[in-house]
Structure 1
Amino acid sequence: MVKIEPFEVEQWMDKYEVTPGVLNIAETCVASISIDDIIALCEDPNVPHPINTSTKLTYGAIRGSQALRERLASLYSARVSSPLSPDNILITPGAIAANFLLLYTLIGPGDHVICVHPTYQQLYSVPASLGAEVSLWKLRKERNYIPDIEDLKALVKENTKMIIINNPNNPTGSTIPKSVIQSLIDVARAQNIIILSDEVYRPLYHGISPIDPDFPPSLISMGYENTLITSSMSKAYSLAGIRLGWIASRSPSLIEEIASARDYTTISVSQLDDAVASYALSPSVLHSLLARNIQLARTNISLLSTFISSHPQTCSWVKPTAGTTALVQFKKKGEVVDDVAFCKDLIAKTKVMFVPASKCFGEEFRGYVRIGFVCETEVLREGLERLGTYVKEELA
C-alpha cells in the first residue's frame, strides 16, 4: 500500500481558514476575481461572453480545447526561436493534479529525485510515496534562498531521474536567476535527467525587472528538451475556483507518456473551466489581468515591508522578488518564537491567520511563518494593524 505523509500545509489551511471572521493572510492566490470581474477587465467589448450557455456539456476536448492550448503555447513561445506547439500542452484539474500525474507517471522504486526545499510538500512527498529516494536541495537564507549549484552537484547520483524546482518559490518568494537555471540544465543534461519546474507563481514578478539579465525565463524556453513545467490559473491569474492547470514540455514523448497515464485519472477538464481560462488568457484580457495582479502585489509587499522595517527586534525576512508568499521570522526578546503556538494564539486573539513554517516546511524553519500577502489590500492592512497590536502586547 502506498504510504504518504500528511499534507501539513493543506491540513492547516483547511482547519483554520474557516474560522469565523478570520483575516486570511496565509492564502497563496492573488486576490480572487469573479467572471464579472474578468469581463470588466476585457479591453474589447466585442469579445463574446466566456460562457456559451447553449453549448452541450459533453466531456469536451480530452486534452484541453485548441483555443486554450494555443493561448498557453503562445505564452511559452515569446522571444524563443522555436515556438511551442499546442500539442505539447496537456490540460489538468489544477497544477496539483498536473504535478501528481507526471510524478505518478515518471517516478517509481529505484529512482532518485532531487527537490528544492523548502517548497510545496507535494513535490517531495509524492515521489517518496512512490518508492523513490528523495534528496532535498536546501535553500539558505544567507544566499537569499537562491539554490547553490555546487550543493546540487553533490546530491546527483547515477540513478537520479528528476530534479524538481519551484520558480518563483513557495514559501520564500525567491526566484532562481537565469544563470543558475542554465547551470542546472548543464548538470541535468550531463546525465539526461528530467527537470520539473513548478511555475504556478509565474509571471508574478514584482521585485525584478524583465530587463535584468538574470530575469528568470520559463524553464521550457531554455533549450533543454528533457524538461516539464506545470502551472495553473489559481495563483498569478486569480482563478483558483475554476480548477484548471497544465503540463507543458518540449518533449513529445514525455507528454504522450503522461497523457496515456492521464486516461486513468481524468477524462477531461470541465468545459466551463476551460472556457473561462481561455477567455482570461485571451489578448483582450490577459494584459489587464496581470497588470492588476502585479500592481496589487507591489502595493501589498510595500505595506508588509514597512511593517517588518518598523519592528526590527521582532521580525526579519529576505524580501521576496516574486509570487505571493513571504517567509518571516518572529522573535520574542531575542529568541525565536514557537511558530505553531504563535500562529494558534494569533488566530485566537486577533483572527489573523498565518502558516507555521516548522510544521508545514520543516523543523529547521522554527520561528518562521508563511505570509500570503497578495490578498485584498484592505485585508492585509487590517491584518497588519492587528498584528502590530499583538506584537506590542505579546512579543515586546
Structure 2
Amino acid sequence: MVQIEAFDVEQWMDKYEVTPGVLNIAETCAASISIDDLVALCEDPGTPGPLSTSTKLTYGAIRGSPALRARLAALYSARVASPMSADNILLTPGAIAANFLLLYTLIGPGGHVVCVYPTYQQLYSVPQSLGAEVSLWKLKKEKKYIPDLEELKDLVKENTKMIIVNNPNNPTGSTTPKSVLQGLVDFAKERDIIVLSDEVYRPLFHGVAPIDKEFPPSIVSLGYDKAIATGSMSKAYAMAGIRVGWIASRSSEIIEAIATARDYTTISVSQIDDQIASYAMSQSVVHALLGRNIALAKTNVALLETFVNEHSSICSWVKPTGGTTAFIEFKKNGQPVDDEQFCIDVIESTKVMFLPGAKCFGHGKDFKGFVRIGFVCETDVLKEALKQLGTYIREHLA
C-alpha cells in the first residue's frame, strides 16, 4: 500500500470553506467567472460561443483538442527563436493531475528530488510516496523567497532525477527572476537533471512588468529540452470549475512517456471543459480575461499592503509580486502566534478564513505564526475580511 501524508492544505479548505457566511480569503483562484462573464469579455462579437451543443459527447481528442493545444503552445512560443508545437502539450484534469501524472511517470524508488520549500505539498509529498528521497530547497524571507543557486549545489546528488520549482510561488507570492531561472536551467543541463516548474499562477504578475529585464519567462522558454512546465485554467484564468490543466515540454520523449502512463488514469479531459478553455484562450478573449485578473490582483494587493502597514507591530510580509497568495507573519508581544489556533479563532469569531502556515506548509515545525491569504478574491470580500480581521487583531494581539 502506498503511504502518503495527509494533504493539509486541501483538508483545511474542505473543512472550513463551507462555514455559513464565510469570508473566504483562503481561496487561491482569481475571483471565479461564469460563462456569461467570459462571453462578455470577448472583444470580437463574431467569435463563436464557448459551447457547441451539437458536438457528440465522446471522449474527444485524447490528448486535448488541436485548437486548445495550439493556443496553449502559443503561450510558450512568445519571444523565443523556436516556437513550441501543439504536440508538446498534453491536457489533464487540472494542474494537480498534471503534476501527479508526470511525477508518477518520471520518479521512483532510488531516485532523488530537490524541491523548493515552502510550496504546494503535492510537489514533495508525492515523490516521497513514490519511494524517492526528497531534499527541500528552502526559501528564506530575508532573500525575498528567491531560490539560492549556491544552496542548490549542496543539495544535488549523483542520483538526483528532478529539481522542482513553483513560479510564482505558493504560498509566498514571490517570483523567481529570469537570471536565476537561467542559472537553474544551465546547472540542470550540465547534470542531465529534469526541471519541473509548477507555473499554475503564471502569467498573473502584478509586481513585475514584462519590460523588466528580470521578468520571469516560462521554464520551457530557456533552451533546455528536459524542462517541464505545468499550468491550469484554475488560478490565473479564474476557471477552476472546468478542470483543465496541462503539461508542456520541448522533449517529445517526456511527453510520450507521460501520455503512455496517462492511458491508465483519466483517458481525456471533458469535451465541454476543453471547449470552454479553448474559447477562453482564443485571441479575442484571453487578453481581456488576463487583464481583468491582473487589475483585480493589483487593486487587492494594494489593499492588503495598506493593512499590513497599518498593523506593522503585529504582522509582516514580503510583498508578493505574482500569483494570488501572500504569506504573512503574525506576532503577539513579539512572539509568533500559534497560527493554527489563530486561524480557528478568527474564523469562529469573524467568519474570516485563511490558512495556517506551520500546519499547511511546514508540517508544524516551520513557519510558526505565518498564515496564507488568497487576496485575488472579489474586492468587496477582501475589504470586509480585512475590516473584520483588523478589529480582531487589535482586540486580541495588540
Name the TM tier (shorter chain): over 0.9
Higher mean C-alpha displacement, 332-341 vs 87-96:
332-341
Q: Which residue in 1 is equivalent to 2:20? A: 20
Q: Give runs of aligned pairs for residues 62-211 of structure 1, distance below 5 A.
A: 62-211=62-211
Q: What is the CA–CA distance in structure 1 between the aligned matches of 2:191 and 2:209, rounded to whole Å?
A: 33
State the distance in 2 between where 1:147 and 1:285 align.
34
Alpha-carbon distance in 1 for matches of 2:256, 2:216: 27
Deviation at 1:266, TM superposition (A): 1.3
- Rounded to whole Å, the distance in 1 between the matches of 2:324 and 2:71 is 24
Of 370, 373, 376, the residue aligned with 1:368 is 370
Cα deviation digits, residues 30-70 of structure 1 (max 9, x gap): 00000000000000111111111111101000000000000
SS of equivalent residue, structure 1 residue 284:
coil
SS of 1:183's equivalent?
A: helix
* Cα distance in 2 between the residues matched to 1:247 and 1:57: 24
- Alignment of 1:385 onto 2:387: yes
Q: Where does residue 255 of structure 1 map in the other structure?
A: 255
Q: CA deviation at 1:26?
A: 0.5
3-state SS of paired residue (2:320): coil
**When the two structures are aligned, how many residues end up with a matched partner?**
396
The amino acid across from 1:343 in the alignment is: C
Displacement of 1:216? 0.4
Distance 2:43 2:271 in 1: 24
Matches of 2:331 and 2:134 in 1, distance apart? 32
Q: Secondary structure in 1 aligned to 2:87?
A: helix
What per-residue deviation string (whole Å, max 9, x for no partner) do you get for residues 125-158 of structure 1?
A: 0000000000000000000000100110000100
- Gap regions ≥5 residues in structure 2: none
Residue of structure 2 in register with 1:51 after alignment: 51
In structure 1, runs of 5+ residues without a counterpart are none
Q: Secondary structure at the match of 1:180?
A: helix
2:32 paired with 1:32: yes
Aligned equivalents of 1:227 and 1:75: distance in 2? 15
1:226-237 to 2 correspondences below 5 Å: 226-237=226-237
Quick one: distance in 2 between partners of 1:335 and 1:139? 21
**Shift in Å at residue 73 of structure 1?**
0.7
- Alpha-carbon deviation of 1:370? 0.1
> Partners in 2 of 1:193 and 1:252 — Cα distance?
16
**CA–CA distance in structure 2, aligned partners of residues 212 and 238 of structure 1:** 25
1: CA distance, partners of 2:333 / 2:27 = 29
Q: CA deviation at 1:265?
A: 0.2
- Identity of matched residues, %: 73
| Residue number in structure 2 paired with 1:213 | 213
Give, in whole Å, the separation in 1 of the partners of 2:29 and 2:374.
8
Q: What CA distance in whole angstroms lies between the structure 1 residues aligned with 2:274 and 2:53?
A: 14
**In 1: Cα distance, 2:183 partner to 2:78 partner:** 22
- The alignment partner of 1:29 has SS state of coil
Q: Specify the alignment match of 2:325 in structure 1.
A: 325
Distance in 2 between residues matched to 1:110 and 1:218, nearest whole Å: 29
Q: Higher mean Cα deviation, 90-99 or 46-55? A: 46-55
Please tell me the residue identity of whatever aligns with 1:46.
G
TM-score, normalised relative to structure 1: 1.00
What CA RMSD, in Å, does the superposition of the two structures yield over aligned residues?
A: 0.5
Q: Could you tell me which amino acid in structure 2 is paired with residue 101 of structure 1?
A: L
Output aligned runs, 1:261-272, within 5 Å: 261-272=261-272
Show the 5 A alignment for 1:204-353: 204-353=204-353
CA distance in structure 2 between the partners assigned to 1:166 and 1:267 by the alignment: 26
Deviations 1:288-330 (A, max 9, x none): 0000000000000000000000011101000000000000001
Amino acid at match of 1:63: R
Runs of 4+ in 1 over 2 A off after TM superposition: none
